[in-house]
Amino acid sequence: MDQERLIDLRDETEDMLKATELGEHPDAEAFDERFDDAADKLEQILVGDISEWVGRFYRKRYHRWQSGDREKPLCRCENPRCPLKRGDIPYRLRRRDSQIRADGGTGREVLSGYLDSHPQAVIIDEALDKQAALATELAREFRQLQRDIAAAIEAVIDGRVDDTETHN
């Protein structure tokens, strides 16, 4: 799922949430919560500062590797001082949001760029795969939320029509 399309889905969903008819529906607050959750995840993996997301992703796998719960090494390079092997996140991946954006890159571009220069970094491949899976999951959530919101708006409008017809 491409980043622009995901952002468009988020924006379309947000516009639907602003529909005045929706405020009368009992699930309006639940829709807001679902949207906020999905929008926060989108911000974490695609739009904003990738360093926190990569840090959490890496630390979980590093701890599994150290405890023996993971067989596959985090990096297959020959460098014994490779930060990925030593439990460190490389500087290029830890940089804060402002530096990544100043370079004009998204989080995904930063991960891909690192993999280009260090192709043995198995964990970065995994991070990109996980990010793609999360993007697909978020796209499904935004589309489902749009269908649910549309049905709720329709139910409110139909309810108004029914109320008007019974009063005449």
94-150, pLDDT tens digit by residue? 765 544 444 556 667 777 888 889 999 999 889 888 888 998 999 999 999 999 999
Q: In terms of pLDDT, which residue wins out, 166 or 121?
A: 121
* The pLDDT value given to residue 20: 77
Q: What is the mean pLDDT of residues 33-46?
A: 89
What pTM does this model have? 0.77
Instruction: Give residue 22's pLDDT band: very low, low, confident or very high (50, 70, 90).
Output: confident
Residues 6+ apart with CB under 8 A from 102: none
* The pLDDT value given to residue 107: 67
* The pLDDT value given to residue 159: 81
Residues 6+ apart with CB under 8 A from 128: 108, 111, 112, 115
Q: Is 77 left (phi over 0), alpha (psi -120 to 50) or beta?
A: beta
The rounded distance, in Å, linking the Cα atoms of 38 and 32 is: 10
* The pLDDT value given to residue 2: 78
The full set of domain ranges for the chain reads 3-12+31-156
Q: What is the mean pLDDT of the chain?
A: 84
Q: What is the mean pLDDT of residues 28-49?
A: 86
